[in-house]
Amino acid sequence: MTSFRLALIQLQISSIKSDNVTRACSFIREAATQGAKIVSLPECFNSPYGAKYFPEYAEKIPGESTQKLSEVAKECSIYLIGAYCRVGLGICYDMRFAELAQIYAQRGCQLLVYPGAFNLTTGPAHWELLQRSRAVDNQVYVATASPARDDKASYVAWGHSTVVNPWGEVLAKAGTEEAIVYSDIDLKKLAEIRQQIPVFRQKRSDLYAVEMKKP
Amino acid sequence: MTSFRLALIQLQISSIKSDNVTRACSFIREAATQGAKIVSLPECFNSPYGAKYFPEYAEKIPGESTQKLSEVAKECSIYLIGAYCRVGLGICYDMRFAELAQIYAQRGCQLLVYPGAFNLTTGPAHWELLQRSRAVDNQVYVATASPARDDKASYVAWGHSTVVNPWGEVLAKAGTEEAIVYSDIDLKKLAEIRQQIPVFRQKRSDLYAVEMKKP
């Protein structure tokens, strides 16, 4: 498979967990009918964002939410993020650590997905820049899935779920409202870019390297 | 010294080497009178850009050009790039290798300077993005010094010499024409940003690290 469709679900999160999960499932079904093969939910898709909410909303894994998500993924024959080979997964602030993306790229990942929720300070400053940085430096596709913005929430998410290609171009980007972002991931294009600018072959691994401490 | 002025000389390069060097020296003098303490010339400041020119324009070091530049640096009490502590130096394409910048940052560099000449394809796609990536990932100032654009040259440089701060903001940016770019480098601001987003302290060096192979 050299190309496939990715969908990012920029969910509007409410304080009712069962409602969040039901709505997430219905968006997953919609994305599947649009041809998506990999679907990502945002960070904290079933709970308001904030440490004070976690004791009430937390679940064991497997648990109620993962059970529902597994069922819908199976029903729709799609992969929910986390379960697909060659996809590197980080959460939100992980985007700031170039080393994580470098290690994923070394291990053959061609798509990095960061469910995340930047705020109204770090969002405009760094949300898109960090994705484009990770994409160009590692010549991979990068996608972020944010919750939709809720100006009345205690933590106001930036929104703007995005897909960037390995050339650093923004392929698709949501606004602040609830939305599904679709993008066709073309691994032939990725291979072409790696041939045009062969930084992987040219890295001076005799002088430096990013190394895992525990394999 | 917690702040100082940087100047990037976006020189218009001609095919007459002695003229390039003389004009570079007069720009350095002008930058010094404007208070610059560190001055960078562009990549290939004394020769047209292109491998075919190098046999004719190459010099030994020390040689005629370095001699003239040393004299003017001494006369003006400024540092020409390469000679200042805590400044990491790369050339052009080096910007694509995140590892180099990561190692400079590990070693305490607070300003990275890349004399470089991107072209009209890679310039609009990556010139500014790579600088902002290096700046935000390593929380350092990043500056690039390009030759001015000459549409009749065999290699047409992008121009747009730039200074970016550790928050990823473009502080100063030339157009395509010959120019000096000035920017006040504020190391207190750098320290503040490192406190606000303490990625250096938070890096999981127990899990991964960028390492030099030869010290």
User: Cα(B184)–Cα(B167) distance, rounded to whole angstroms?
Assistant: 15
pLDDT confidence of residue B83: 42
Binding-site residues on chain A for chain B (CB distance < 8 A):
96-100, 102-103, 125-126, 129-130, 132-133, 136-137, 167-169, 197, 199, 202-214
Cα→Cα distances A16→A11, A47, A56, A156, Å: 13, 8, 11, 17
pLDDT exceeds cutoff 90 at A192: yes
Lowest-confidence pick of A52-66, A163-177, B123-137: A52-66
Residue B153 and residue B48 in contact, taking contact as beta carbons nearer than 8 Å: yes
Mean pLDDT of A92-106: 96
Closest chain A residue to B104, measured at CA? A208
pLDDT at B1: 67
Going by the DSSP 8-state scheme, the letter that residue A92 receives in this structure is G
Report pLDDT for B81: 79
- What percent of chain A has a predicted confidence (pLDDT) above 70? 97
Q: Please tell me whether residue B183 adopts helix, strand or coil conformation.
A: strand
Q: How confident is the model at residue A91 (pLDDT cuts 50, 70, 90)?
A: very high
In which element (H, E) is residue A128 found? helix A128-138
A20 has a pLDDT exceeding 60: yes
Residue A93 has pLDDT above 90, yes or no: yes
Q: What is the pLDDT of residue B3?
A: 86
Structure tokens at A86: 């060659």
Q: Measuring CA to CA, how many Å separate B151 from each of A145, B119, B123? A: 43, 11, 14
- Are B137 and A96 inside 8 Å of each other by CB? yes
Alpha-carbon distances, residue B62 vs B46, B66, B68 (angstroms): 15, 6, 10
Residue A105 has pLDDT above 70, yes or no: yes
Sorted by sequence, the CB contacts under 8 Å of residue A100 that are 6+ apart come out as A88, A90, A94, B208
- pLDDT of A81: 79
Report DSSP state, residue B45: T
- pLDDT score for B2: 81
| Separation between Cα atoms, residue A181 and residue A187, nearest integer Å | 19
- Predicted confidence at residue A3, as pLDDT, reads 86
Provide the pLDDT for residue A71. Answer: 95
**B215 band by pLDDT with thresholds 50, 70 and 90:** low
pLDDT mean across residues, chain A: 93
Q: In this structure, how many other beta carbons lie within 10 angstroms of the beta carbon of residue B145?
A: 28
The secondary structure of residue B60, as a DSSP letter, is -
Mean pLDDT of A72-82: 87
Cross-chain Cβ contact B96/A129 below 8 Å: no
The reported pLDDT for the residue numbered A215 is 59
> Residues A158-178: what's their mean pLDDT?
96
Contacts 24+ apart (CB under 8 A), B29-32: B29/B72, B29/B75, B29/B76, B30/B180, B31/B7, B31/B78, B31/B180, B31/B182, B32/B76, B32/B77, B32/B78
CB contact under 8 A, A208 and B212: yes
> Can you state the percent helix, strand and coil of chain B, rounding each to 5?
40, 20, 40
With beta carbons under 8 A apart, name residues in chain B contacting A213: 205-209
Q: Please judge whether A137 and B103 are an interchain contact, meaning their C-beta atoms are less than 8 angstroms apart.
A: no
Compare all CA atoms of chain A with the CA of B205 and give the residue at the minimum distance. Answer: A213
State which residue of chain A sits closest to B139, comparing Cα positions: A96
Mean pLDDT score of chain B, rounded to an integer? 93
pLDDT at B84 (0 to 100): 66
pLDDT exceeds 70 at position B186: yes
CA-based nearest residue to A31, from A187, A142, A181? A181
Nearest to A136 among B130, B210, B211 (CB): B130
The β-bridge partners of B39 are B7, B80
Question: Does residue A136 surpass a pLDDT of 90?
Answer: yes
A35: left (phi over 0), alpha (psi -120 to 50) or beta: left
Give the mean model confidence (pLDDT) for residues A133-160.
95
Please answer whether residues B114 and B144 qualify as being in contact, where contact means their C-beta atoms are separated by less than 8 angstroms. yes
ipTM summary value? 0.85
Split at pLDDT 50, 70, 90, the class of A84 is: low
User: By CA distance, what is B121's nearest residue in A?
Assistant: A167
Arithmetic mean of pLDDT, A174-180: 94
Alpha helix (H) ranges present in B42-198?
54-57, 64-76, 98-106, 122, 128-138, 187-196
- Asked whether the predicted pLDDT for residue B40 surpasses 60, the reply is yes
Q: What share of chain B in percent tops pLDDT 90?
A: 88
What pLDDT does residue A17 have? Answer: 95
- Considering only the C-alpha atoms of chain B, give the largest distance between any 2 of them, rounded to a whole number of Å: 54
- Does the pLDDT at position B214 exceed 90? no
Which residue in the set A130, A168, A208 is minimally distant from B210, CB to CB?
Answer: A208
Q: How would you list the strands of the sheet with A36-40, edge to edge?
A: A79-80, A36-40, A3-10, A179-186
Tens digit of each residue's pLDDT (9 = 90 or more) over B64-81 = 999 999 999 999 999 887
The span from the CA of B159 to the CA of B8, in Å, is 11
pLDDT higher than threshold 70 for residue A125: yes
Q: What is the pLDDT of residues A50-73, one digit of tens each?
A: 889 999 999 998 999 999 999 999
Flag whether pLDDT at A164 surpasses 50.
yes
Smallest Cα distance from B187 to chain A, Å: 20
Average pLDDT over residues A181-199: 95
Range A103-140 burial, b when 16+ CB lie within 10 A, else e: bbbeeebbbbbbbbbbeeebbebbbbbbbbbbbbbbbb
Query: Considering the entire predicted model, what is its pTM?
Result: 0.89
